[in-house]
């Protein structure tokens, strides 16, 4: 049975452009990929069509038991986020400026148990001194906690996409990452037209979902 291109996790724009160029089914893409116009870029094609590996219910249960919740050190907030910050999932924190989203991210970074955090800062709000204050207050070994937090700055769309792409080669040698944070995904994209912004966000989320599933981070 031929799988239609429209069933894939691609933006409507890319699907429409592929169809206009005669690509309606997955086998069309595989057999004639060299004829796809260069402007139509589908870098993650193999991951879109590969069947996911299966796991038994027991394996999934063991993974769930093994997963240690990430704490914010605020009991009321931990209760709200208990089932939201989980491996293989992307969680969005939204709110008006100044409502504490970055502070929650800092607390979560410090609260990763037996693992590491990869923090992509896009709005130049990464305050290492604030992380130090949180670590000094909340954990017994401040220096060890800070050593487990990796940070990169990505202040424009190109840098943001490059940072996500970088993870593909970086994560295999850093398989203790349990949390990835982008603060914030909207900031470097705010000047882009709506359709382009939506396409970029879709691409980033698609890549993150693949990585989160493979490396089991939240």
Average pLDDT over residues 182-205: 86
Q: Where are the domains of the chain?
A: 5-49, 63-215
**Each residue of 45-81: pLDDT tens digit?**
555 555 556 678 777 667 666 667 788 888 888 888 7
Q: What is the mean pLDDT of residues 9-20?
A: 74
Q: What is the pTM of this model?
A: 0.71
Q: Which fold has domain 63-215?
A: Rossmann fold (3.40.50)
Angle at 68 between CA 95 and CA 82, to 5 degrees: 35
Q: How far apart are alpha carbons 93 and 85 in whole angstroms?
A: 11
């Amino acid at each position: 049975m031929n799988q239609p291109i429209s069933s894939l996790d691609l933006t409507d724009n890319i699907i429409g452009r592929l169809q206009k160029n005669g690509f309606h089914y997955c086998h069309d893409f595989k057999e004639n990929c060299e004829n796809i116009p260069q402007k139509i870029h589908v870098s993650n094609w193999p991951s879109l069509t590969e069947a996911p590996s299966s796991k038994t219910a027991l394996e999934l249960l063991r993974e769930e038991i093994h997963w240690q919740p990430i704490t914010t050190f605020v009991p009321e907030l931990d209760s709200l986020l208990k089932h939201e910050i989980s491996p293989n999932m992307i969680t969005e924190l939204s709110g008006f400026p100044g409502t504490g989203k970055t502070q929650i991210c800092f607390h979560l970074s410090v609260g990763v148990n037996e693992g590491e955090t990869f923090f992509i800062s896009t709005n130049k709000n990464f305050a290492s001194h604030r992380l130090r204050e949180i670590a000094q207050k909340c954990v017994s070994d401040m220096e060890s906690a800070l050593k487990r937090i990796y940070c990169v700055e990505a202040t424009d769309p190109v840098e943001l996409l490059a940072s996500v792409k970088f993870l593909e080669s970086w994560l295999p040698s850093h398989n203790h990452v349990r949390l990835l944070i982008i603060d914030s995904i909207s900031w470097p994209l705010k000047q882009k037209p709506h359709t382009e912004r939506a396409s970029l966000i879709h691409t980033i989320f698609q890549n993150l979902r693949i990585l989160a599933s493979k490396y089991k981070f939240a």
